[in-house]
Amino acid sequence: MAVADGGFRALDEKSLIEYIRATPALSSLLGDDLRALTVKEVGDGNLNFVYIVISSSGGSIVIKQAIPYIRCIGESWPMTKERAYFEALTLREHGRLCPAHVPEVYHFDRPLSLIAMRYLKPPHIILRKGLIAGIEYPLLAEHMSEYMARTLFFTSLLYRSTSEHKREVAEYCGNVELCRLTEQVVFSDPYKISQYNHWTSPYLDQDAETVREDDILKLEVAGLKSMFCERAQALIHGDLHTGSVMVTTDSTQVIDPEFAFYGPMGFDIGALVGNLILAFFSQDGHSDNGKDRKVYKQWILKTIEDTWNLFHKKFISLWNEHKDGNGEAYLADVYKKPELWFLVQEKYIKDLFHDSLGFGAAKMIRRIVGVAHVEDFESITDAERRAYCEHRALEFAKMILKERQRYDTIEQITSALQNIPS
Amino acid sequence: MAVADGGFRALDEKSLIEYIRATPALSSLLGDDLRALTVKEVGDGNLNFVYIVISSSGGSIVIKQAIPYIRCIGESWPMTKERAYFEALTLREHGRLCPAHVPEVYHFDRPLSLIAMRYLKPPHIILRKGLIAGIEYPLLAEHMSEYMARTLFFTSLLYRSTSEHKREVAEYCGNVELCRLTEQVVFSDPYKISQYNHWTSPYLDQDAETVREDDILKLEVAGLKSMFCERAQALIHGDLHTGSVMVTTDSTQVIDPEFAFYGPMGFDIGALVGNLILAFFSQDGHSDNGKDRKVYKQWILKTIEDTWNLFHKKFISLWNEHKDGNGEAYLADVYKKPELWFLVQEKYIKDLFHDSLGFGAAKMIRRIVGVAHVEDFESITDAERRAYCEHRALEFAKMILKERQRYDTIEQITSALQNIPS
C-alpha cells in the first residue's frame, strides 16, 4: 500500500476491507458478518480504481478511489486525486436533481479520494458494451433525455439566480486539472503531432494527417475550445459518453462525473449523441457473427432522434414550468408575450443544437485519432475493417463540425447518416 | 459617523483625517505637517464617497470609500461594500498590466472598504465633462486602445494558462452583487416597466414603450445578457464609460473598476465606444454657445475609429508576440501555419467587434430609458432638444443592436453615424 500526500494512501483489496470495517457508514450497509466480504476490482475506465464489495448477507457497495495519476497511462501523467471531490459533489447534486438516473452516494472520504456508492447490480452493464453486443434499450432515450434536461436546466441561469450560479461556478473552478485534460485530449492533441495520439495504422495515416492539416476544421475547433473554457452555462457531467452510463432494459444510471464543471450544455449532449454515432458506425464491424445489424442500426438512429427530441421537449417544459422562478436569464416581465417567449426558446434550443453537434463531432474525432479510443471500434479485430468504420465516422464528424449550422433538426442528421454510401 | 458591520464605519471629513494620521502608509505620503490637511469630498458617481486630501507640504492622495448601499439611490438599494475589494484588486492588476493608464493604489483597508490612490491632479477632468465641453484629446484613442488591449489580452486565455484563468475567475465570482446590478440596469430594466426607469417625458414616452415592445431587440439583448453572465473571457473593467476615465491632453487614466469580473471583452470596448457615440449625438444639444460643434463631431468619429483600429492592431501584436507563451486557447503547434493563424485571429477579432457593437448599443439604450443617465444629455436643459438628441441616439443604438452582424469595419459604423439625416 503506497503512502502519499495529506493522509492519502492507495488502497488494495486487503486494506479496503480494513477500511470498510473501520467505517460504520459502510460496514452498516454490508450487514453484520464482515468476515465474508467479496471484493473485486472492476475499473475498466482510464483513470481510477473501482471495487465491488459484496457481503455474505447480501449487502453491496461500490468503492471508487482516485489515484494521483492517470491509471491507463501511469505515474508519468499526474492527475489530481481531488477529482474525486468533484465527482462526489456532482453525483450528489445531479442525484438530487434526477435521482432515478444517478446512483446514490453513501460516503465520501476526501483525504482518501474515496467514494462509496450504490452498486448497480447485474444485469446492469456499461451502455457501450450493450451497444457493441447489439442490445436494444427501449427506455434509453427517455431516461437520458430526462437526466440531461433536469441536470442542465436546474443548474443553469434559466433556473438559478446569478448569486447561486456564481457561487457554484467558483467552486467548480477547482476542478481545473480535469478541464485541462479535456482541453488537451479533445481540442488540441488530435490537431497536432502528439506522442499520445494513435490510430489504426497504416490505414488511417492519411486521415490523421488530413485532420491536422484541415484549416477550416481547426478554426471551428478553436471556437468550441473557447466555449468549453469560457462559458459557464450549466453544471455539466463533462464526460457523458456511452462508457459513463450503465443500463438494463429498464434502468439507466449515469456514473463517473469527475470531469464535471460549469461548462457549455452542448458538451454533454454532444458527448452522448457523438458516441451513439460512433456506435452506429462501428456496427458494420460487428455484423458478422450470424447476426445482421441493419435493424440495430435503425434502432440507434431512432434513439439519437428520440434523445434529442425528448430532451428538447423536457427542457422546454421545465423552462415553462419555472418561468416565474429565481432564474435571472430570461425574466418573465421582459419576455412574457407568448410569441416572444417562443422565439427566445427557439433561439436558445437552436444554438444548443448547433453547440451539441459541434462538440459531438469533436468528441468523435478525438476517439479515432487521439489518445483514448472506444471499445466500439477497438473490439473490431480486423484492422482493415476497423479502419473502414473509423474512416467513415471521421468523415462524417468532420463534415458535421464544419457544416453544423446547416442542420436544423436531428432528423436531418440521422438522414445524413442513413444516406452515407457504403 | 455610522457604525456598521465587521469594523466598518462610514468616514466623514473629520474621521478621515484621524484615519490618515493613524495610518503610516498614508501619513508618510502627505508629509510631516498633518495639521494642515485639506479634505474635499468630490464623489460625483452613483455609488461611493471620494475625498481629495492635500497637505500643506504638497502631498496628495485620493481616498475612496464604498458604503453598503448605492449612494445615488440611498439605503433602500443595498450594495455590498466588498466592491471596494474588487476595485482595489483590479486597479492593482490592471495597473500592473498597464501602469501608464491606471492610478497607483497606495493602500487598501478591507474592513473599511477604503482605497487610497494617486490623486490625478488638475487639469485632469472626467472625460465625459471634456466631451461635453468640446475639448479634443489627441492621445485618447492611443491611450484607451493601449489600456484595453493590454488589460484584456493579458487576462485572457490567449495569454494565461487554464489554471491561472480558473483561479482568477473563481476569485472574481465574489463580485456577484455588482454583476447582478449590471444585469438588472443594462439588460433587464430598460426592457420592462420598472420604478427605476426614466426618460425625457413626454417626448420619449413612445420611444420607451417601443423599446419594451421590440421583440427582435429583446431577443438580441437576451443573447448579450447570457454572454455577460456566462462567458469568462477576460478580466474586464465592467463599467468603462467616459465617466470612468480622467484625462488631460496628454494623460489618460482609467478609474473605478468596481464592477470588474471575468466577462466578455466586448463589454468594455462597447462601453467606451457606445459612450463616445452618446457624446456624438449629444453635441447637437451643446452647439449654440457661439461654438460650432461640427468639427468636434468629426473628431469624436475619428476617435471612435482610431480607438477600435488601434485596439485591433495592438491586441493582435500582443497575441503574435506571445504566441509561444502559456496561453492555452490557440496552441502554436496547432495553428502555426501563417494563413491559418491569420484566419483564426481574423475570426476572433470579427466576433469581438460584433460583441462590442452589441454591448455598446445596449449601454446606449440603458442610458436613455433606464435608471442612470449621462451628463452628455442631462446637461442639455431644453427638454425638447435633449429628447431630439436622445431619440436619434436611441434609434441608432437599436439598429446596431439588431443588425450588428452586417457591419465589418468601424468605418462602416462612423459612416452610418455621419449619414443620419437631421
Nearest-CA neighbor of B223 among B355, B368, B366, B408?
A: B355
Last residue of some domain: A90, A117, A144?
Answer: A117
**ipTM exceeding cut-off 0.90 for this assembly:** yes
Contact flag A179-B166 (C-beta cutoff 8 Å): yes
Cα–Cα distance between B195 and B183 in angstroms, integer?
A: 16
Q: Helix (H, G, I), strand (E, B), or coil: what is residue B265?
A: helix
Evaluate whether residue A167 is within a structural domain. Answer: yes
Contacts of B335 in chain A (CB under 8 A): 218, 222
Evaluate whether residue B1 is within a structural domain. Answer: no
Omega of the bond leading into A111 within 30 degrees of 0 (cis): no
Strand partners, B247: B125, B252
- Whether residue B6 is predicted with pLDDT greater than 80 in this model: the reply is no
CB B51 within 8 A of CB B13: yes
In this predicted structure, what is the pLDDT of residue B58? 86
Nearest to A173 among B166, B192, B328 (CB): B166
Last residue of some domain: A82, A99, A117?
Answer: A117
Nearest to A162 among B179, B231, B329 (CB): B179
Cα–Cα distance between B354 and B408 in angstroms, integer?
A: 8
Minimal Cα–Cα distance from B230 to chain A, Å? 5
Range of the domain at A26: 13-117
Q: What is the CATH number of the domain that holds B146?
A: 3.90.1200.10
Cα–Cα distance between A138 and A129 in angstroms, integer?
A: 16
Instruction: For residue B254, give the H/E element and its range.
Output: strand B252-254
Query: Residues B344, B364: one domain?
Result: yes
Contact flag A170-B173 (C-beta cutoff 8 Å): yes
Contact flag A335-B183 (C-beta cutoff 8 Å): no
Tell me the pTM. Answer: 0.96
Evaluate whether residue A4 is within a structural domain. Answer: no
Minimal Cα–Cα distance from A157 to chain B, Å? 8
Contacts of A170 in chain B (CB under 8 A): 169-171, 173-174
- Whether residue B1 is predicted with pLDDT greater than 60 in this model: the reply is no
Pairing status of strand B49-55 against strand B37-41: antiparallel
Evaluate whether residue A314 is within a structural domain. Answer: yes
Q: What is the mean pLDDT of residues B134-139?
A: 97
Cα–Cα distance between B39 and B51 in angstroms, integer?
A: 6
Minimal Cα–Cα distance from B162 to chain A, Å? 7
Cα–Cα distance between B145 and A405 in angstroms, integer?
A: 34
Contact flag A188-B331 (C-beta cutoff 8 Å): yes
- Based on its alpha-carbon atoms, the radius of gyration of chain B, rounded to whole angstroms, reads 22
At B311-356, the pLDDT tens digits run 999 999 999 999 998 898 999 999 999 999 999 999 999 999 999 9
Contact flag B222-A331 (C-beta cutoff 8 Å): no
* Number of other CB atoms surrounding residue A167 within 10 Å: 14
Q: What is the mean pLDDT of residues B134-146?
A: 98
Query: Residues B134, B74: one domain?
Result: no
Contact flag A219-B343 (C-beta cutoff 8 Å): yes
What end-to-end distance do the CA atoms of chain A give, in Å?
Answer: 53
Query: Residues A133, A108: one domain?
Result: no
Query: Residues B18, B159: one domain?
Result: no
CB A117 within 8 A of CB A62: yes
DSSP letter string over B144-201?
HHHHHHHHHHHTSTTTS-HHHHHHHHHHHGGGHHHHHHHIIIIIIGGGS--TT---ST
Cα–Cα distance between B273 and B356 in angstroms, integer?
A: 8
Evaluate whether residue B4 is within a structural domain. Answer: no
In this predicted structure, what is the pLDDT of residue B2? 44
Minimal Cα–Cα distance from B422 to chain A, Å? 32
3-class SS string, B343-388: HHHHHHHHHHHHHHHHHHHHHHHHHHHCCCCCHHHHCCCCHHHHHH
Pairing status of strand B125-126 against strand B245-247: antiparallel
Cα–Cα distance between A331 and B207 in angstroms, integer?
A: 21
Query: Residues A53, A147: one domain?
Result: no
Query: Residues A216, A360: one domain?
Result: yes
Q: What is the pLDDT along chain A (422 residues), one digit of tens a residue?
A: 344 467 899 999 999 999 999 999 999 999 866 678 899 998 876 788 999 999 988 899 999 999 998 887 788 888 899 999 999 999 999 999 999 999 999 999 999 999 999 999 999 999 999 999 999 999 999 999 999 999 999 999 999 999 999 999 999 999 999 999 999 999 999 999 999 999 999 999 999 999 999 999 999 999 999 999 999 999 999 999 999 999 999 999 999 999 999 999 999 999 999 999 999 999 999 987 667 799 999 999 999 999 999 999 999 999 999 999 889 899 999 999 999 999 999 999 999 999 999 999 999 999 999 999 999 999 999 999 999 999 999 999 999 999 999 999 999 999 999 999 87
CB A4 within 8 A of CB A68: yes
Query: Residues B36, B113: one domain?
Result: yes
* Dihedral (Cα; B125, B131, B134, B136), 10-degree rounding: 80
Nearest to A215 among B230, B328, B343 (CB): B343
Q: Half-sphere exposure of B105 toward its Cβ, with a 13 Å CA cutoff? A: 23
Evaluate whether residue A354 is within a structural domain. Answer: yes
DSSP letter string over B273-308?
HHHHHHHHHHGGGSTTSS---HHHHHHHHHHHHHHH
Query: Residues A109, A235: one domain?
Result: no
Evaluate whether residue B284 is within a structural domain. Answer: yes
Chain B nearest-CA residue for A333: B192
Contact flag B167-A176 (C-beta cutoff 8 Å): yes
Query: Residues B247, B278: one domain?
Result: yes
Cα–Cα distance between B368 and B389 in angstroms, integer?
A: 10
Amino acid identity for residue A244 in this structure: S
Query: Residues A93, A132: one domain?
Result: no
Contacts of B329 in chain A (CB under 8 A): 222, 225-226, 229
Nearest to A162 among B162, B183, B192 (CB): B183
At B146-173, the pLDDT tens digits run 999 999 999 999 999 999 999 999 999 9
DSSP letter string over B45-89?
SSS-EEEEEEETTS-EEEEEE--SEETTTEEEEE--TTHHHHHHH
Contacts of B167 in chain A (CB under 8 A): 173, 176
Contact flag B173-A176 (C-beta cutoff 8 Å): no
- Cα–Cα–Cα angle for B156, B366, A227, rounded to 5 degrees: 25
Q: Helix (H, G, I), strand (E, B), or coil: what is residue A65?
A: strand
Last residue of some domain: B117, B149, B172?
Answer: B117
Q: What is the CATH number of the domain that holds B17?
A: 3.30.200.20
Cα–Cα distance between B212 and B205 in angstroms, integer?
A: 11
Contact flag B192-A331 (C-beta cutoff 8 Å): yes
Chain A residues with CB within 8 Å of chain B CB: 157, 162-163, 165-167, 169-171, 173-174, 176-177, 179-180, 183, 188, 191-193, 215, 218-219, 222-223, 225-226, 229-233, 328-331, 333-335, 337, 339-340, 343-344, 347
Distances (CA, A) of B96 to A352, A412, B104, B340: 39, 52, 9, 32
Handedness of CA A72, A77, A78, A79 (dihedral sign): negative
Query: Residues A333, A186: one domain?
Result: yes
Contacts of A332 in chain B (CB under 8 A): none
- Cα–Cα–Cα angle for A181, A185, A186, rounded to 5 degrees: 110
Chain A nearest-CA residue for B172: A170
At B13-51, the pLDDT tens digits run 999 999 999 999 999 999 866 678 899 998 876 788 999
Chain B residues with CB within 8 Å of chain A CB: 157, 162-163, 165-167, 169-171, 173-174, 176-177, 179-180, 183, 188, 191-193, 215, 218-219, 222-223, 225-226, 229-233, 328-331, 333-335, 337, 339-340, 343-344, 347
Query: Residues A137, A111: one domain?
Result: no
In this predicted structure, what is the pLDDT of residue A4? 46
Evaluate whether residue A1 is within a structural domain. Answer: no
In this predicted structure, what is the pLDDT of residue A215? 97
Residue of B195, B212, B229, B267 to mutate for A, most A C-beta atoms under 10 A:
B229
Q: What is the mean pLDDT of residues B393-406?
A: 98
CB B35 within 8 A of CB B7: no
Q: What total of structural domains would you count in chain A?
A: 2
